[in-house]
Amino acid sequence: MWITELLATYITGFIQHTGYITVFIGMMLESMIIPIPSEAIMPFAGFLVATKQFSLHLVIIISTLWSIVGSLISYAIGYYGGKPFIRKFWKYFLLDQEELESTEHFFKKRGHITILISRFIPVVRHLISLPAGMGKMNLGEFVIYTLIGAGLRNTFLTLVGRYLQKNREIVMKYSKLIDVAVLAILVWIVVRFVYRQISKRNRKQKTT
């Protein structure tokens, strides 16, 4: 069994046994400051849509509503806590200070439309609600942009999963190539993590 087939089998099985609860919890956390990628949830929910075990409309509605809930929690942290609170407790929130600062700059440079665009940008989409809250962005606009961005992304990923499941034989035909791509991505993630840790340690040593 190749890596792609293994992931598809076990992740889909897990979501199947836990039901919609995995979808809404996963998407709520994904929209907060906990880096759970929607790519690890929504396509596999789409698999279950293809086999008629999940409803397409329910998957999209549930995932999008809970994306908004997660985003509102992060928004509230930024709005009421501000930078002092985040700087004091960022480690407990699993935040990366550099990524947060980069996201804040991204938000200030591109304005409120960033809330919509960021749903399609890795890392930024996990953190963007914090600077929106810190910048006291209008709550109504924030919810609307989040609704549109999250809805489009969740719909796209679910439909991709449904399409792949319906064309499973074609996907498995090219599974070796997909496995290579998956392994390459995993290696890149590990290398990037190690590099960042070394860079942080070197910067700390220079400042001490």
Same domain, 143 and 202: no
* Residue 1 pLDDT greater than 50, yes or no: no
Same domain, 66 and 54: yes
Amino acid at 3: I
Same domain, 148 and 204: no
More confident residue, 196 or 130: 130
* Residue 4 pLDDT greater than 60, yes or no: no
Tokens of 129: 């609600």
Same domain, 205 and 109: no
Tokens of 54: 């999940």
Same domain, 8 and 72: yes
Residue 155's pLDDT is 94
Q: What is the pLDDT of residues 57-116, one digit of tens each?
A: 999 999 999 999 999 998 998 888 877 777 776 665 656 667 777 777 778 777 778 888
**Secondary structure (DSSP) of 150-191:** HHHHHHHHHHHHHHHHHTHHHHHHTHHHHHHHHHHHHHHHHH
Residue 75's pLDDT is 92
Same domain, 89 and 124: yes
User: What is the distance between the terminal CA atoms of the chain, rounded to a whole angstrom?
Assistant: 51
Same domain, 189 and 120: no
Number of independent structural domains in the chain:
2
Amino acid at 100: L
Sign of the C-alpha dihedral computed for residues 26, 5, 2 and 123 taken in this order: negative
Same domain, 64 and 33: yes
Residue 123's pLDDT is 73
DSSP symbol at 149 = H
Angle (CA) 130-131-133 rounded to 5° is 65
d(CA 41, CA 154): 10
Which is nearest to 34 in space by CA: 25, 22, 43, 42?
Answer: 25
pLDDT band of residue 200 (cuts 50, 70, 90) is low
Domain of residue 199 covers 174-208
Task: List all residues 6 or more positions away from 138 whose beta carbon is below 8 Å from its beta carbon.
Answer: 112
Side-chain-side CA neighbours of 104 within 13 Å: the count stands at 18
Q: What is the pLDDT of residues 130-162, one digit of tens each?
A: 888 888 889 999 999 999 999 999 999 999 889
Same domain, 46 and 99: yes
Same domain, 164 and 179: no
Same domain, 57 and 110: yes
Average confidence (pLDDT) over 179-194: 68
Overall pTM > 0.75? no
Residue 192's pLDDT is 72
* Residue 34 pLDDT greater than 80, yes or no: no
Same domain, 144 and 197: no
Residue 55's pLDDT is 94
**Distance from CA of residue 89 to its chain's centroid?**
21
d(CA 77, CA 87): 12
